[in-house]
Structure 1
């Protein structure tokens, strides 16, 4: 079987960087990333990834960064890792300065060509773990995914905003600041599905990642409906793409109902293995409105709906269709839903329901990487 690799950056990932120079050239600057040892040891001992270190060390060996200031510290780092059972098969160090633009410098792949097009390695299912945009770019150039310890989330507001956004969409499998989340992600795997549902009335494509970060790209032809589906992604911390082309020239019914079915079917696919999952989940206020959504991904569909609306429509959505959406989702996802809401503002009421629904999903699909427990006495869900 081909080996999967974790290409791991050193500074800012395993050990903390040292502003303002970011040059780790003395022992008084050395501190390790919080909880790194605990979870790297688990990754190294419980999983079958090969560990490869890839690091840029600007000007190593020059007067500005003499080798005698680097190697003692680096050797201590490596021995400390080895002492915890964390063994790297190789360490690749680029010594160039950024302005030299050498192919060996991340995000260039010059140092790593032996891993590419080599049948011994499973590059598409490997990961680059790093803290810089260049680490994410390296993953894209390698043809694998990135786990981004993004300690500077405001990068997206700079002149490279479009590049960062594209990388998040195409290359970042996990964005976090915690090694515990990296371990959980690698241990449990990603619950991602692509699902299509096509009828004579609607054509629907759903991309769902239950372990995402809240990214959404929704297009149903109904603005308010798009806004509500976006709430599911944002507050459920899942990544969601929904593309619905329906017979809106007739009315909204098929578009809303079938989207609920397609989304529910996508959840059913993603939740095929429910071991370690919480299963249940939420009450949420929004201004004067109060919504309660209880959910159970127990394998049986049922819905209880206690919400009334005085307006015929909110945006382009008929209020009678809110029940149909959740009923369709419940049937297709094979889950129990208990929805209750009270309040005065109709917009607030339905938005509170969707947000509570998202929070309930987030709670219910959460998994414990230390547990292989199926949340049922029946032995199956």
Structure 2
């Protein structure tokens, strides 16, 4: 029996089949309490899907991420409406590839322009969110949702006018459709005004769970493990016990700003002790001193890497075999070998000098250990 709906009007219904499982997958894996590395794809258009969003790791509280899922659903609706509108004025043979190309062009164009508000309207920027210490920026989610819903609804009105579904009110449908598209762009720009290239914002520090003692360690709830707390405290204590000036406070953080009073830890559940030690030891600033001669700059950088390797080994109880030496270049490896044969007090003194040199460009790097 022939369907009572013409091909162009049935086309939008085809999108329900791939769209509903996609939303189910997003709902399952985008819970803020779950760390799920990777990336997700979304594909939507008229009669075909173009979707490029993300299943990347992201932070936030343990509440279900209705806002993010809603934004993705709204984007699905917008691209479906875009395809339906194009299919209403172009024969389906040409409308399908045109709809797919239009969605790709919209996402690709907004992803390259320096006007960040456009990126938030398109929603592709949501793939930059989130990590264990960053959560979705409500304004970015709102911008994508408002634009997609209003513009998508406007496109449906324009499609209705093109198909003369409301023949007596075609002009009204055209006027309402155009107004809704304009309103979607305006409201999306208003919500995203001033936002940068990312859809993430710092997670509330009140979410941190801290353990005191010789070393204060603060992790987010989904990272908390009593064994990990104790391991981190022991590692930092080992270095401080040698007389090396490292902070006695550790915080799970991906912040780029260095703080002498806090060790930033990039921690994901399941990391080995060696990986944790390397993350802790690496929290030294990258030396960028504009006044350095080339040889001084090289020495400053080499000795930073040497100090990082020594700190990691010390955190692991002095067992060099547990350090992944494959990441060390020849100069750093030679410097580390020379450092480890010195008396313990001399090793700590040299590492303190190297740390001072990377923290302050006015301090010259020490001579190589010997």
Confirm or deny a common fold (TM above 0.5).
no
Higher strand share: 1
**Which range, TM-score by smaller chain?**
under 0.3
Give TM-score scaled by structure 1 length: 0.25
Give TM-score scaled by structure 2 length: 0.25
Higher helix share: 2
Higher RCO, Cα 8 Å, sep 6+: 1
